[in-house]
């Protein structure tokens, strides 16, 4: 009886360790490692099966009924499934997905066994957890080794091997002595307990390593965010009768969107907006290079098309297979004329207040980074007091609601008209909130791209906090 009680405690310890692994999986919000889940489920099912088949447990709670026997059989048979999934996490799918084949075949055998289509002796053979792990898996490993399959490198493999060896020895001893699973004389559960302890050691080392990598990545992302913030202008330039407001909303910590106000003649403003293909750190690195490349184009003749062409040449030669859209615009506030050139960038929008009409400023050049000698064209437009110019990246246009409607087609023109009396700062605040709300799915914002919005108001008179003043 003392041996049965000891074995009962072993089963409870195994199930507890498994439960701890599942809890750790659930509460690791940043990275959910699936091996924690499979390890936990495997240990829980094994521990429960060991407890319910223990003679001391049955002495206290009675022999199981017909339903209880069916549940017990299901637990005993199904515990191997998370065990195989756990093994796959460490070993990979194997040669020609052989581990997946073993899992599928075993699940089919479980279904057949539970249907009652096999004899009791066959069922007893199936229900030993070690049968699949200790017989089928080594056969698959041997075949994979012969076929040249190499599993991914595994840290702390010696500890894992020691646990597997302890489990194999316990299993072998029980098979030689013809000891049934759950009997108080069983050696296999103690071998499995050793395996669980070794797995916990490997798991703990892996979790600690993951946490260290996450901390390192977090530090690097914070540094990258600061660098990107540094390359963005601290504020828009100041020019009489012109008000500029910008909102920059990256999808992740760093983004591929970029805007700048290059040097320009007096009474003029130069504006540059770009959108690098992709997201995150790779796009941000290219955006930083684009920022430097723009500054090298200041020696050009100042024509937007020449600057865009020079930028395209730099991108083609220095960052091959990296692409970006861009628009470069020069505004003469005295003569009220603008000149711009675009490279596959969404067209600027000009709200003509006097005509109460929205004008799309056309003219589209080739994407930056495709051909180094591509020629780009300049386009010109005029503006009046009270007009509003909107520059942006495609994250503004392509944001979709739950009905699949894009913000640019369904909401943007109406928004520009309805909010025409708001000052530039208030306008961009409302616009950014509107597009983020447009993408809201009821639980979270579904921002799927970086968003940059720039508004340029042309006015005559003092700017008030909320609305345009003196506009005619």
Please state which of the ranges 57-71, 80-94, 269-283, 450-464 shows the lowest mean pLDDT: 57-71
pLDDT over 60 (residue 449): yes
pLDDT at 47 over 90: no
Q: Model-level pTM?
A: 0.59
Phi then psi dihedrals of residue 284, to 5 deg: -65, -35
Domain boundaries, the chain: 2-220, 232-458
**What secondary structure letter does DSSP report for 348?**
P
Looking at residue 301, its pLDDT comes to 58
Q: Which CATH class is domain 232-458?
A: alpha beta
Tell me what pLDDT residue 299 has: 54
**Per residue in 349-408, pLDDT tens?**
999 999 999 999 987 899 999 998 899 999 999 999 999 999 999 999 998 888 889 999
Residue 177's pLDDT band (cuts 50, 70, 90)? confident
Burial pattern 273-287, b for ≥16 Cβ within 10 A else e, equals: bbbbbbbbbebbbbb
Which residues on adjacent β-strands are paired with residue 453?
247, 392
At 102, list the tokens: 């073993």
Q: How far apart are CA 226 and CA 230, in angstroms?
A: 6
Who's near 121: CB < 8 A, 6+ residues apart? none
Residue 430's alpha-carbon distances to 164, 245, 289, 425, 457, in angstroms, are 61, 12, 31, 9, 16
Over 60: is that where the pLDDT of 119 sits? no
Residues 418-444 have a mean pLDDT of 86
């Amino acid at each position: 009886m003392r041996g049965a009680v000891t074995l009962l405690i072993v089963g409870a310890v195994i199930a507890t360790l498994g439960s701890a692994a599942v809890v750790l999986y659930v509460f690791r919000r940043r990275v959910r490692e699936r091996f924690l889940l499979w390890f936990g489920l495997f240990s829980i099912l094994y521990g429960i099966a060991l407890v319910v088949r223990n003679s001391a447990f049955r002495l206290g709670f009675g022999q199981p009924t017909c339903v209880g026997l069916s549940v017990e059989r299901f637990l005993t048979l199904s515990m191997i499934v998370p065990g195989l999934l756990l093994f796959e996490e460490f070993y990979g799918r194997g040669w020609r997905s052989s581990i997946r084949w073993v899992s599928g075949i075993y699940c089919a055998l479980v279904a057949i066994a539970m249907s009652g289509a096999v004899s009791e002796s066959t069922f007893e053979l199936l229900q030993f957890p070690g049968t699949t792990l200790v017989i089928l898996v080594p056969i698959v490993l041997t075949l994979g080794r012969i076929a040249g399959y190499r599993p991914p490198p595994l840290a702390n493999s010696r500890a894992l091997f020691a646990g597997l060896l302890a489990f194999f020895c316990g299993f072998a001893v029980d098979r030689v002595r013809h000891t049934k699973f759950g009997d108080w004389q069983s050696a296999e559960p103690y071998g499995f307990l050793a395996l669980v302890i070794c797995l916990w050691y490997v798991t703990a080392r892996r979790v600690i390593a993951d946490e260290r990598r996450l901390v390192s990545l977090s530090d690097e992302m914070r540094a990258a965010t600061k660098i990107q913030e540094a390359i963005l202008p601290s504020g828009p330039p100041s020019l009489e009768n012109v008000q500029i407001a910008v909102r920059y909303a990256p999808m992740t910590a760093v983004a591929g969107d970029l805007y700048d106000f290059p040097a320009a003649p007096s009474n003029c403003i130069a504006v540059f907006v770009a959108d690098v293909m992709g997201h995150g750190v790779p796009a941000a690195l290219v955006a930083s290079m684009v920022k430097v490349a723009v500054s090298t184009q200041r020696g050009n003749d100042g024509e937007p098309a020449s600057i865009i062409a020079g930028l395209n040449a730099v991108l083609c030669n220095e960052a091959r297979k990296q692409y970006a859209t861009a628009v470069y615009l020069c505004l003469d506030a005295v003569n009220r004329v603008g000149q711009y050139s675009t490279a596959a960038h969404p067209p600027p929008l000009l709200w003509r207040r006097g005509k109460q009409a929205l004008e799309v400023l056309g003219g589209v050049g080739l994407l930056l980074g495709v051909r180094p000698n591509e020629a780009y064209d300049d386009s010109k437009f005029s503006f009046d007091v009270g007009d509003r110019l909107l520059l942006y990246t495609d994250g503004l246009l392509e944001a979709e609601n739950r009905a699949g409607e894009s913000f640019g087609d369904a909401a943007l023109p109406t928004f520009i008209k309805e909010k025409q009396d708001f000052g530039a700062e208030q306008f961009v605040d409302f616009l950014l909130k509107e597009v983020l709300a447009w993408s809201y799915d009821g639980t979270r914002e579904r921002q799927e791209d970086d968003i940059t919005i720039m508004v340029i108001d042309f006015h005559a008179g003092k700017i008030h906090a909320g609305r345009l003043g003196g506009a005619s």
